[in-house]
A and B are shown apart, each in its own frame.
Chain A
Amino acid sequence: MLSPEMNAPEARHERCRITVRGRDGEEQSFEIGRNELLLKAAIEQGIDYPHNCRVGVCGACKTRLLSGRVSPMVDLALSPLSNAQIEDGFVLACQAKVRSDLLVEAQLGRQALLPVCTVSSRVTRWRRLPGEVIDLRLKLDTPLRYHAGQYATLAESGSFTRRSFSFYDPPGDQPAQEVGFLIKRLPGGRFSEWLFERDRSGIKIWLEGPFGVMGVDDPDRDALCVAGGTGIAPILSIIGERLKRSARARFTLVFGVRTQQDLFAAEYLQALQAQAGERLRVIDILSHEPAQSGWRGARGLVTDALDDRLGLDFSAQAAFICGNYGMVEAVEKKLLALGVAPERIHADKFLPSGTP
């Protein structure tokens, strides 16, 4: 016998209660409409849910479903989640349509979300740096607020192609009128190849952002920062911002590139060093430097520099990591093994993109 839909279970609860349990055991609840996407609805309510790309590519909104039911928009095997994670109940909040009350495990951020804006801009600086990196600075037609560690998507005026890059300036007290990005040439990459083709000064660029939650931590807490290549950009922003907010926090930055010729960030680090003095220690580590070169610094992968020789109390550190997906995964694993608290690890994994 068919019954009217108003009596169907789905119609009885048009609102669903979401309880988010943090890794520290704290719980926070909010309500969203049934059938809404978990991440989208949470963000629209101003909840600082961990996220990055919002389209199922980056995996930053990884959420463990403890009870309740969601429907993933796409097969989770097509997401960055590993098979073990899928079997362990992880879903992506950006792809999860909420079907019932939920109890989930995720680490909510602790800063107010900023509105995402689309603003036009002009290139004011296009400067080649060592290691096939461009320092791209944009003068915004409308000032924009962002948090340290966040990113924006850039698209040339008239182009479908858009790619995401992190702001490297620390945010100021006022909305930014000008923003900067460090962009690595990626062979075959549509955006970076276009950018490298010739000086793009004066070109109009559309910027959408800010996106991402790189993580906020107690400003006075010492920080261990690990960056691979242009992953240094959000780290520069985070250290710069934390230096302004704390008079005593100390920073250890492990910066990995392939060879000496790829040490593109020297002047930015020198500027930061001038500001921080002894509170900042930078360790450059080279993964592919020829053995016969005169390099006297560290060699290997960034994970090779992470051990007791750093002389850090790992359990007391906040960790900020940015780089390619594999590097960040490896660093996270290493830091957990060294005793860094999981809730203090803040990571931004970037993916070479053929994806939107």
Chain B
Amino acid sequence: MTDYFKYLLSPLILAAHGYGLYLGGVYAWTGLALLLGVLLFDAFLPRDYTMRDQRYVRIYDVICAVTVLCSFANIFFYAYLVGHGHFSGTSQLGAFLSMMFVGFVIGAPPVHELFHREEFVLRWLGRIGQCLIFDPWREITHVVTHHMRVATPDDPDYARRGDTVYGHILRTFPGQWKESYHLEKMMWTKRGRRWYDLRNAWVYKAATLLSFTALLCALGGAYGALLAIASLLLGPRMMLEVFNYVNHYGLVSATPGRFEKRHTWNHITPLTRILALEITNHAGHHEDSYKPFYKLEPDRNGPVQPQFLLVVLLALVPPLFFMMIKPLLKHWDMHYASPQEREIARRENERAGWLELNRPDPQRDLPAGIWSAA
């Protein structure tokens, strides 16, 4: 039964963060401090391969939906507080950074979870929830493009070997915009409509975003809305791309359109699994993107990266990230890649200038079985 309560961690942190914003001053840092503390603690915990209790699954859905609603309340509250001069000096910085990080770790996962769902209400909430990343077009390139072309350069979310996170961000956004336009155009063309037809999906998305922005303005004025939107763009929106950057980094697929569990990294420490609503338990999600988070089965032999927070922080310092990822990629090439993928990886290593990954070194190479659950 305790499985159900685990997922209350996110709304509880969100509530504490909201209360911290209300108190202001040094308490404005509460959200950031709590999340960093929890994730730091998580770095010392062993991997968790357990499955969730499946008896009362509606509880999970309710928690997930409530987290999205609370995240909306959070951003509106923040805009209101900013607009009414509630913060000053370091508390302004603390509140902004907390909003960024809370928006990423707590706000984004349930939105992703729900826009993958089939039930109308949950999916609608997930789609509306994309306001919390200030990008209602994220769903279409994620569900169609990313899931279909994962671990190939045809997926704008994919980072190739040698790519830094900064280069990735510069490439991925234009790639996603281009892809969104292409897909939206295909939908209105297929239905025989003009681009400005009010029934087109993009009109609905734009109207949603405009309404959301108007509400932020109404609550917090221009300044409140500006900071709220900036916190969403620099927080969840931007950091989602950091997540995408690490999550399939350098892995290669020779079977685009046909996902195999080896085509993703996983982060399966207990608290990361809970806070991220199992999205870091990633193989199961790609295998069946309709599968709710509580049904995802951790891949007991799948590729595993170090703890999530650590990897995200390392990604911000490319030389350190490369130092961490190269031995893992070499291990993947040797033990996980198909023969065809091994040849692609070899060329990718050459392209990145990582020739040492193409030379076996029995003394220093990671031993077989490092990713297998005990």
Question: Measuring CB to CB, which residues of chain A are less than 8 angstroms from any residue of chain B?
Answer: 2-6, 35, 53-56, 71, 73-75, 77-78, 82-83, 97, 118, 120, 155, 157-160, 162, 204, 206, 208, 354, 356
Contacts and interface: CB of A to CB of B under 8 A. Distances in A.
Contact of B143 (A2, A4, A74): A74
B288 A158 contact: no
Contacts, number: 83
Contacts of A160: 152-154, 252, 254, 256, 344
Nearest to B189: A77
B54 A5 contact: yes
Nearest to B257: A55
Interface in B318-357: 338-340, 343-344, 346-347
B187 A54 contact: no
B207 to A, nearest CB: 19
Central interface residue in B54, B152, B254, B288, by most chain A CB within 10 Å: B254
B289 interface: yes
B356 to A, nearest CB: 18
Contact of A5 (B56, B254, B288, B290): B56
Contacts of B57: 5
Given A83-B190, A160-B252, 7 more contacts: A53-B257, A55-B258, A56-B148, A77-B186, A78-B183, A97-B290, A206-B340
A71 B290 contact: yes
A206 B187 CA distance: 34
Given A160-B153, A356-B257, A4 B344 contact: no
A83 B191 contact: yes
B359 interface: no
Contacts of B186: 77-78
24 contacts: A2-B56, A3-B56, A5-B54, A5-B56, A54-B258, A55-B256, A71-B290, A74-B144, A75-B187, A77-B190, A78-B186, A78-B190, A82-B190, A97-B290, A118-B254, A118-B340, A120-B339, A159-B344, A159-B347, A160-B254, A162-B254, A206-B254, A206-B340, A356-B154
B191 A35 contact: no
A55 B148 contact: yes
Given A55-B148, A56-B148, A158 B190 contact: no
B55 interface: yes
Contacts of A118: 254, 338, 340
B190 A35 contact: no
Nearest to B193: A83
B118 interface: yes
Contacts of A35: 288, 290-291
Interface in B216-258: 252, 254-258
Interface of B: 54-59, 118, 143-144, 147-149, 152-154, 183, 186-187, 190-192, 252, 254-258, 288-291, 338-340, 343-344, 346-347
Contacts of A155: 254, 340
A55 B257 CA distance: 6
Nearest to B62: A2
A261 B347 CA distance: 38
A77 B148 contact: no
Of listed A77, A97, A162, residue having the most chain B CB within 10 A: A77
Q: Which residue among A35, A78, A82 has the maximum number of chain B CB atoms within 10 Å of its CB? A: A78
Contact of B152 (A53, A75, A158, A356): A356
Contacts of B191: 77, 83
A36 to B, nearest CB: 9
Contacts of A75: 144, 187
A158 B59 contact: no
A77 B187 contact: yes
B296 to A, nearest CB: 13
A271 B23 CA distance: 87
A2 B256 contact: no
Best-buried of B143, B147, B343, B347 by chain A (most CB within 10 Å): B343
A2 B154 CA distance: 43
A71 to B, nearest CB: 5
A158 B289 CA distance: 29
